[in-house]
Structure 1
């Protein structure tokens, strides 16, 4: 009987030897490959080394790389080589025009990607009557409150969204990491380029670093892409809302601001702000309602109307009149008493100071009350202030529940923005509008740049840019200012 051949003895555990490794982390781990690039393209140093053992026909001497020219190795011109200082991201070729896209990545270090709106499908929701507070139960969900249409599962129009993948910043660094940049460039390379363009060029620079961390990781990075994706296939307005961009933001816990690289991007001349939940952290009408103890549920009723109006579920004008009627009987002097209670948003004071040093005009267009808006504008040094004027009974000195003149709603805010720009002789391309509610969308659309600041879901999706941080001073990074320049302007 023939015996079966014995299997060869098991070899040791496979491992990479030094000769099998390259200097490329990305290439070894297969995380990212540039499109349409040869696999053996490592860089100029590797190319020069490989040429040493290459036969050239006709034979010619190949000088090794000498580094910086010196007296012993002076620079010399070699036929067939071309050294250029121009680059597609620097200046276009004669007869061509600039077609660059600026992408600013803001890492949300103070806003970690956890869900606190809809219970996660992967976790069991807290049973009713468990005694857990709503805020604790909210932490068991995978969507932030600004990205879901409601905070109540029963009111959700469809089934809860599927759980998203593990945040990649947990794996590759809680910052705008090199892997984050590589992933973004790979994403942008999937969009079609304009006709005649064959390659996507990019450059980037760090605008802000994490000062609290010893390694000083970047938290705001600006990328310049040339050319921009084909506008006839995907206009910039639609590119900002693209599903892949949204998914990238969720995976890497960043906000991506996309802007065309124009002259006006770097030189704004008018910045217009909303007041409630933008310049200040509160809603003034809620503060007023909280002072009324009879009936006891008035503050909750006013807050509910405010929330629905900011979400875009109610028309702002009618909602505002309804809330003011609930305030009838309050003393007119209450506005003065609320001044010390106002909490100015972090970064607002140095931001206004920086804008003034740049010669930029500022305005606050509020759907709130003129007495408080005018006072706050004077305190911050804002040039223009417009808000609603409530009627005060001359005999009793109390609010009548009526509003004088037109409501400063979404249409009026847009009109005021255009009026101020025309008065100052400023083109709308050089106007920036910042707000958080649905009544700010029209003025954002009229401005050259609309910025949603910690905004409601619909505003986040419709605004041309969004910031979800802890300091409004980050607005200056959208203009291309570095952290050092921001400190100089706000000092």
Structure 2
């Protein structure tokens, strides 16, 4: 008969070989395997780590010279982290995308104020025996919002409210939020067929002079440009969303196709009055006539309406010259010291000369002053109107000699100079402020409205409303360091 099994047989027991000085290791419910895994228990870390062989970290595959959008190679060194993948740098072989360049100028010299119309303060009704008190001045509506007894002087509907100035909230410069808002705006326009994403890159061209060094001029390159089948570049420049963005962020936005000629202009043509100089010469001439006393105001009004495009320029110019009849011809010499050259013109022309760019002034003013100023500034070409002077009296007869340099003549002169110099029109830049400059702006590769009248601001290819004409160089992609080198 078999002997009965030992009741203690098969029961777990701890031999002396299994004992250790670690209470945690002896009583834990899970014991790690002899070969450590990737995740270690606390006791293994403390006691067994030195005897273990930890696997080496995952090796990063070396960069083979071909960037990939899925696995962009990255160089990481001490203090440097650089992404090599950049799909916006060039198009794939066999494909070509039109790129769009947007240059954003922050208008720091003309900050916008909030246009919020505060609700009128309710004035308590007067008690018995008291005369009613007038409303305080701060409780009244602005003049263009208050009722009027004359329907001719008050609009039937109040003006549309302008957007709030967001630069007051996010920073008085081209802030990251400003750039983000602009890119979001551009993403709303349809892209060419076959593309789904808008790639962009930006760089700062100018910093402010304060200790914070915030960007005030930023250039963005976007690829591809919005579909030309949906919206041409000319229409995109005039789009109401672009205008609203400029108002919200207090900026000027200049949109250009990123072509080779954008960076290499060869001829820059300027208007004279209110462009190269800050005044209108014909108004200065009229101001010297004391009889009748209102002549200066009458001439200035005609000039203003002609620049707005309300009057035909040639007829308006002849009318004004008639009012100058009797002025001595020496007045042109006397006005030379009075002319106020626009800020930035002298260094701009110095920079253009160093770049080998030809320059010209096409003025609807008077040749004696235009030729003199052209010589002082070193321009290559000068064209303006020539008035008739009586040889006997030496005074103006009120007539104009030859063809008036109006809008059609300015366009013809621009094309003639470009053909003479062998310059393609794509490499010509025209700068002006009045409606009589629009045709020459349209003929040039780039037309720039400089502190211009409203119609010119909308029609021109670019608009600049700063305090220095040197800003023109940023449109060619030059940074502030480049410009300082050129004007030195």
**TM class, shorter-length:** 0.7 to 0.9
- Contact residue 122 and residue 163 of structure 1 kept, 8 A: no
Of the three residues 420, 438, 441, the one matched with 1:441 is 438
Q: Which residue of 2 aligns with 1:223?
A: 220
Aligned to 1:177: 175
* Structure 2: distance between partners of 1:166 and 1:76: 48
Q: Which residue of structure 2 aligns with residue 101 of structure 1?
A: 100
Runs of 5+ consecutive residues of structure 2 not aligned to the other structure: 1-37, 40-54, 74-82, 121-141, 145-150
Question: TM-score under structure 1 normalisation?
Answer: 0.77
2:234 is the counterpart of 1:237: yes
- Of 283, 288, 291, which residue of structure 1 is paired with 2:285? 288
Query: TM-score of the superposition, structure 2-length normalised?
Result: 0.77
Q: Distance in 1 between matches of 2:192 and 2:421?
A: 37
Q: What are the superposed Cα offsets for residues 204-242 of structure 1, whole Å, 9 maximum, x if unpaired?
A: 00000101x110000000000000001100111100011
Distance in structure 2 (CA, Å) of the matches to 1:122 and 1:114: 14
Checking the alignment, whether the CA contact within 8 Å between 1:267 and 1:479 is kept in structure 2 is: yes
Offset at residue 165 of structure 1 (A): 2.6
Distance 1:486 1:289, change over 3 A: same
CA–CA distance in structure 2, aligned partners of residues 300 and 99 of structure 1? 50
1:403 alignment partner in structure 2: 400
In the TM superposition, what are the counterparts of 1:16-415 in structure 2 within 5 Å? 63=57, 75=62, 83=73, 85=84, 87-114=86-113, 159-211=157-209, 213-415=210-412
Q: Structure 1 unaligned segments of length 5 or more: list them.
A: 1-51, 54-60, 67-73, 125-139, 143-152
Shift >2 Å, 4+ stretches: 61-66, 74-77, 79-89, 119-124, 153-161
Cα 1:114–1:371 shift into 2, 3 Å? farther
CA offsets per residue over residues 168-198 of structure 1, 9 Å max, x none? 0000000000000000011101111100001
**Alignment CA distance shift 1:488-1:122 (3 Å):** same
Q: Whole-Å Cα distance in 2 between the matches of residues 328 and 178 of structure 1?
A: 58
The aligned runs of 1:4-19 (5 Å cut-off) are none
User: 1: CA distance between counterparts of 2:189 and 2:167?
Assistant: 24
Select between 229-238 and 161-170 the one with higher mean Cα deviation: 161-170
8 Å CA contact 2:97, 2:225 repeated in 1: no
> Quick one: distance in 2 between partners of 1:286 and 1:244?
37
SS in structure 2 of the partner of residue 277 of structure 1:
helix
Change (3 A) 1:101 1:289: same
81 and 164 in structure 1: CA distance in 2 versus 1, 3 angstrom threshold: closer
Change (3 A) 1:418 1:76: closer
Q: Secondary structure at the match of 2:388?
A: strand
Across the aligned residues of Structure 1 and Structure 2, the Cα RMSD in angstroms comes to 2.6
For residues 419-467 of structure 1, give each alpha carbon's deviation from its aligned partner in whole angstroms, at most 9, with x where no partner exists: 0000000000000000000000000000000000000000000000000
Aligned length: 397
